[in-house]
Structure 1
Amino acid sequence: MGRILAIDYGAKRIGIAVTDELQLIASGLTTIPTPEIFDFLTGYLKEEKVSTIVVGEPKQMDNTPSESEALIKPFLEKIVQQFPDVKILRHDERFTSKMAFQTMLDSGLKKKQRRNKALVDEISATIILQSFMERI
């Protein structure tokens, strides 16, 4: 059984979360500048056994794709092409940024720390992963 890796895709940064090898616990891993994602994934997949990559699926309230889906489509095509042995799935990511910010508030982070957009992206990826794990 391999890890599940979750991606919160953004035009500037990508939040990444991962499970343990038993797929029990979702943890934030890092945030990567978007242009560096394939170098990161290549290295990570060489070091760790990953069975599934879950990519956040941004949707509007009426269930239609959000505008950022247009940026994600080419990314998905490339990820499927570069990592054909890894299952690629999508998971609804509505409200994850708001939930991430609330998590930061609830954990007592100072205002300066809450402005760290990279941390918001990493927490968002963790929320996507946790929600995905609860669904399966």
Structure 2
Amino acid sequence: MARILALDYGQKRTGIAVTDEMQIIASGLTTVQTTQLFDFLTNYFIKEKVEKVIIGDPKQMNGTPSESAIYIEKFCEDFRIKFPKFPLIKVDERFTSKIAFQTMIDSGLKKKQRQNKGLIDEIAATILLQDFLNQKLF
């Protein structure tokens, strides 16, 4: 099997997570500057077998798109043009950043480490991906 890649897209940084080849466990991969995201993905797709890519779909509490949705939609359009063979699936990302921050606290990271926004983005992508995998099982 090939891996599934998850993106927690942001205007400045994008957190990236990936599954193992059996698509059972999600692990944080890295955080990249969003301006470098297409270069990173191009290189990653050359090195690794990827089946699909999921991306966080930001929604407000009432289910309507959030303010950042226009940036993600533009990225999705560009992604589909650049990488037409990879399915790109939007997944509701409400609360992933808050859950990521709480996960950092629960795991005992010091305050200085919790201020690393790149780490929060990577953990948020991991949570997004693990939630996707959990839903796939049912």
The TM-score normalised by the length of structure 2 is 0.97
- Structure 1 position 77 matched with structure 2 position 63: no
- What are the equivalent positions in structure 2 for 1:43-58 lying under 5 Å apart? 43-58=43-58
Q: How far apart are 1:57 and its partner, in Å?
A: 0.4
SS in 1 for 2:112: helix
**What are the Cα deviations for residues 86-113 of structure 1, in whole angstroms up to 9, with x where unaligned?**
1110100000010000000000000000
Task: Give the fraction of aligned pairs with identical amino acids, expressed as a percent.
Answer: 61
Quick one: distance in 2 between partners of 1:77 and 1:46? 21
**What are the Cα deviations for residues 62-95 of structure 1, in whole angstroms up to 9, with x where unaligned?**
0001010011111000111111111110100000
Letter in structure 2 aligned against 1:124: A
- Residue 115 of structure 2 corresponds to 115
Q: How far apart are 1:135 and its partner, in Å?
A: 1.0
- Structure 1 position 63 matched with structure 2 position 66: no
- Residue 101 of structure 2 corresponds to 101
Quick one: distance in 2 between partners of 1:28 and 1:7? 10
Quick one: distance in 1 between partners of 2:90 and 2:134? 14
SS in 1 for 2:94: coil
Q: How far apart are 1:39 and its partner, in Å?
A: 0.2
- Residue 134 of structure 1 corresponds to 134
- Residue 42 of structure 1 corresponds to 42
How many residue pairs match? The answer is 136
Q: How far apart are 1:25 and its partner, in Å?
A: 0.6
- Structure 1 position 8 matched with structure 2 position 26: no
Listed as ranges, the gaps of 5+ residues in structure 2 are none
Quick one: distance in 2 between partners of 1:51 and 1:81? 17
Quick one: distance in 1 between partners of 2:73 and 2:57? 10
Quick one: distance in 1 between partners of 2:8 and 2:20? 18
The TM-score normalised by the length of structure 1 is 0.99
Letter in structure 1 aligned against 2:10: G
**What are the Cα deviations for residues 16-72 of structure 1, in whole angstroms up to 9, with x where unaligned?**
000001101100000000000000000000000001100000000000010100111
SS in 2 for 1:36: helix
Quick one: distance in 2 between partners of 1:43 and 1:105? 33
Listed as ranges, the gaps of 5+ residues in structure 1 are none
